[in-house]
């Protein structure tokens, strides 16, 4: 079955020229939204997408550029008159996710009052394969981001790696490609400076060529045009473009 990825946005938390780094994983019978940041509802509209097309949303971690749009998504889903949308997340994210929903709901009285009112919340166990549809399986991989705050990258269908916000993990990338057969990597990228809570471009450039050839860059800053042609074999993802996986 054909599987596609459409990035609603490809920007980092501070980008003005790009929407938040959130995506749609699209199969013929199921569409999964990966994260729902503050700009996600606007990005959906810009892409000509409707919430009625989305079967579920998955949260990788609880920063606002990844969960800030949940109250509006819940409101739009309720306005459409359908059932509550399933929301998938790892257990350790649940408390901050509930708190983050309330924080981002401030001033938006039209949205459901709580996360449980807005969504059918479902826990996903990390490090276990979960089948969402005949064409989509995923595994949550806990990857480091900010000390004390959990973040989970995704292994899709056993051979596609989609990073959450994470610090550089070269051993993981080498293992995924050379031992597990991963053939595509969608990786967040901090374009300048050392990677402290993100993966810096300079880090990714240090990887072997065969790994770099598999990487598409996302979650970048407004400086991206200045880095075109300076990423070796790696390519930038573009928001709203449909990529066949």
Mind giving me the DSSP string for 60-104? S--SHHHHTTHHHHHHHHHHTT-PPEEEEEEGGGHHHHHHHHHHH
- Phi and psi, residue 85, nearest 5°: -75, 135
CATH code at position 168: 3.60.15.10
16 class by beta-carbon count within 10 Å (0-12 exposed, 13-18 middle, 19+ buried): exposed
Alpha-carbon distance of 19 to 230, in angstroms, equals 23
In this structure, are strands 23-27 and 119-124 parallel, antiparallel, or unpaired?
A: unpaired
Residue 48 φ/ψ region, left for φ over 0, alpha for ψ in the -120 to 50 degree band, beta for the rest: left
The residue range of the domain holding 84 is: 4-244
In the DSSP assignment, the letter for residue 177 is H
Alpha-carbon distance of 192 to 227, in angstroms, equals 10
Question: CA–CA distance from 228 to each of 201, 217, 224, 231 (Å)?
Answer: 12, 11, 7, 7
> What pLDDT is recorded for position 81?
80
Q: Tokens for 25? A: 């994983």
The series of mean pLDDT values per 10 residues for the chain, 245 residues long, is 93 98 97 98 96 97 97 91 93 97 83 95 96 96 95 98 98 98 98 96 98 98 98 98 96
Three-state SS at 176: helix
Q: What is the domain count for the chain?
A: 1
Which residue in the block uniquely carries the two structure tokens 């790994």? 211
Alpha-carbon distance of 51 to 123, in angstroms, equals 22
> What pLDDT is recorded for position 110?
83
Beta strands, E only, the chain:
4-7, 23-27, 30-34, 56-58, 85-90, 119-124, 130-133, 136-142, 152-156, 160-162, 184-188, 215-218, 235-236, 242-244
> What pLDDT is recorded for position 14?
96
């Amino acid at each position: 079955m054909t599987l596609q990825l459409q990035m609603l946005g490809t920007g980092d938390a501070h980008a003005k020229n790009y929407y938040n780094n959130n995506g749609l994983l699209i199969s013929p019978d199921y569409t999964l939204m990966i994260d729902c940041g503050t700009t996600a509802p606007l990005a959906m509209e810009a892409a000509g997408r409707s919430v009625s097309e989305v079967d579920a949303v998955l949260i990788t971690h609880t920063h606002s550029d990844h969960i800030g749009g949940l109250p509006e998504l819940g409101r739009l889903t309720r306005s459409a008159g359908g059932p509550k949308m399933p929301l998938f997340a790892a257990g350790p994210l649940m408390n901050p996710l509930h708190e983050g929903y309330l924080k981002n709901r401030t001033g938006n009285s039209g949205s459901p009052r709580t996360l449980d009112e807005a969504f059918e919340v479902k826990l996903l166990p990390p490090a276990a394969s979960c089948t969402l549809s005949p064409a989509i399986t995923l595994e949550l991989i806990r990857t480091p981001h900010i000390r004390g705050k959990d973040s989970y990258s995704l292994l899709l269908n056993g051979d596609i790696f989609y990073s959450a916000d994470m610090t550089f993990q070269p051993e993981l990338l080498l293992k995924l490609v050379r031992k597990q057969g991963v053939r595509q990597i969608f990786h967040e990228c901090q374009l300048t400076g050392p990677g402290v809570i993100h993966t810096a471009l300079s880090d990714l450039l240090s990887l072997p060529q065969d790994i770099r050839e598999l990487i598409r860059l996302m979650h970048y800053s407004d400086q991206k045009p200045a880095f075109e042609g300076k990423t070796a074999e790696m390519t930038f993802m573009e928001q709203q473009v449909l990529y066949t996986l």
